[in-house]
Structure 1
Amino acid sequence: MFIRIAKDIQTFDAIQPLPPHFQYFHNPPVDVAGVSTLNIFQKCTSVVRQLAYGASAGQLDEYLEMGRQTSYDAMNNFCKCTIQLYHNEYMRKPTQEDVNRVTAKHLEVHETAPPHGKANTLVATGDKGHPTIMLEAVALYDLWIWNAYFGPAGSNNDINILNESDLFDQLLEDRAHVVNFIANGEQFTKGYYLADGIYSEWSTLVKSFKCPMDPKTTKFKRYQEAARKDVERAFGVPQGRFHILTHGARPLSINKIKRMMYSCVILHNMVVDYNSRAISPFDLELIPEERPVRTWDQRVGTQLCMMGELRDRLTHHRLSGTPIEHIWNLPAQQRQR
């Protein structure tokens, strides 16, 4: 995978004139004085060591014969190249075929949960009790991160991060994919996310019970928390794989930190795909066509209508109650399993 990334950066020529961050890695083997310059493998190795081990730029001087500023420049340009090369593939929005594959895989793995891949998908934000730039992510049990929103600094919590993110943009534009499933005999056409109790009562969120008062909600809480572990793993694995995410980043600008985070998310998804664990592989033929052209009035009307559906509390309570009954009414042999 390392060789692939280096070669993709080295051979990139889709845009002319070549962007500066690609030019940085396309340096000739010798400079004007005839002295050998740093090659692309040295620069990429420096970046990978900074990302994976949290090594400071100064630590790489003796090993790679690179100065501190050169290591910083390599990191910044590598992140720009990674995002430009792989964003469309490894941070893409799910297609209808992706949704169908996730649904089928969910039925295979989670037989006792509500019948769709949503049951092990959720929204979460990472915070450590001190000033942070928070990450919102949607992930499945294969650890693929389907949506990542990172950037706003300051005083944030799960609610205002969700309000600022683009998670529900497709839904508000009435372009969300159809998710047909039946739970406890009721038909639903939209997927939902498992979320913490702090979130608002939206029609696409199913929240956990802080203090379940009866056997039904107690059982549902147990199943829901077992499914919600997947996003915690999706946060934990990248932090274990890229130690730079656990270190302070005060010397860096907001934009550089954002590029570094999105690069780590892209590389994480590349590893999932490289290890053949991804549920839904990338297929260019399945990428949806361009969105339909709408007038300003049409866009505003659609968004207001879909916003009303999104914030419908009655639908939220109906959707929250149905999975509880669905799980409670499962046959005894499935409960034991």
Structure 2
Amino acid sequence: MKRRIFLKNTGQAGLALSFLGMYACKNNHSKKNNSPTEEVSFEPFFKFSLAQWSMHKMILEQGENPMNFAEKAKSWGFTGLEYVSQLYNKEIEKRGNDNNAIISLAEDLKKKSDEHQMHNQIMMVDLPGEDNLLATPNEEMRTKAIENHKIWVDATSVLGCHSMRINLFGSMEKEEWKEASIASLTVLTAYAEEKRVNIIVENHGYLSSNAALLAEVIETVNKSNCGTLPDFGNFCLRREGDALWDAPCIEEYDMYKGVKELMPYAKGVSAKSYNFNKEGKETKIDYYKMMQIVKDAGFTGYVGVEYEGEAISEEKGILATKALLLDVAKKLDNPSAT
């Protein structure tokens, strides 16, 4: 199952030179060619983490080893890591495809992150089929899904991540979805509390992208380790044919309203990006407006870069998003200069 739907190529020729040049302008410690690992003269109000989904094509299609995530992210100038469980499916199968394999994986990833002095932030868990239905009214299926998420809470704890991101998929009826979501989160947060792990929900399609409804769920659960992961771009409420992914969106929640509604409960922020114009700006999302909402909420933690475009390579898209975030942070720090 694909975790994200990809937008069609709307990029323009020469884009890579534009945003990479933009990034170089941000790093002015040296007149030499700048690299992503060089220290910048400006410290934004947040820190940079990399969402591993930004590399999913590298991993699934181009043979990049997901075990090298920490090293790769560090080479691009990041200090935080956000893992994606499904990108390790083959690795887990090699290790025996059981709970011990998952814990073994987490232990080895922790060694890798420590080796490169990286900070583990979030484990994003996407389980297959019914195991992912935490918001189904079917109690038997929901209980099974909860149990299959617990081992990932353990793995998240081993990694030293502060949060595990889950999906709230299941019912399409609001009250059923809300009741089932509260039930699952109540059990999972109680289990995760013992492991010092937060359970966070991303707006990730269907009713989970109804930010006001999701905020009601978080308020009702009312646990300090229950929160959100606001994503700039995942606000499609319904797609053609009721498809989960890979179909045109026919009903969408207002992204700026949605992020504002989710920020009071945020344990992290996912800076989604798709495509960029010649000036290095995101073509769908007003990053200045979005990051103003993040800043106004008092958020000073890690902002995760999550590039999903197709017009340019994943590496270039990752660096373009990082450069844009830094540029916006500078403008927010000194609005009179814009």
- Please give the range of the TM-score, normalised by the shorter of the 2 chains: under 0.3
Return the structure number with greater helix share: 1
**Structure whose residues are more often strand by fraction:** 2
Bigger-Rg structure (1/2) = 1
TM-score normalised by structure 2 residue count: 0.23
